[in-house]
Amino acid sequence: SGTTKFLQALKEKGESSQSGEISQIGQFGVGFYSAFLVADRIEVASKSPKSDQQFVWTSTNGASEFQLFQDPRGNTLKRGTEITLTLKEDCLE
């Protein structure tokens, strides 16, 4: 994964995991999950150019679990990621 490659590059450069660069991973997680401030549900479809399959990750606000499955729509993306937020009713404006 990209995270694995990033951590390996840090090791090769001799930087510790306490460096400022490593905190970027945590900042992404905080930023991503902050989407639940306005969304009841988040769906992430992703397709690697190295894979024949496209996958979906989905989670519901307040749930302690998530689902990961092959996208039933097929390969709608050549590559990349599509993020869909289902907004909370009080956040529609």
* Overall average pLDDT of the 66-88 stretch: 92
pTM: 0.65
pLDDT bracket for residue 12 (50, 70, 90): confident
What would the pLDDT profile of 30-63 be if each residue is shown by its tens digit?
666 788 889 999 999 999 988 899 999 999 987 8
CA-closest candidate to residue 5, choices 28, 20, 25: 25
Question: Sheet holding 80-87: strands in order across?
Answer: 67-70, 54-60, 39-47, 80-87
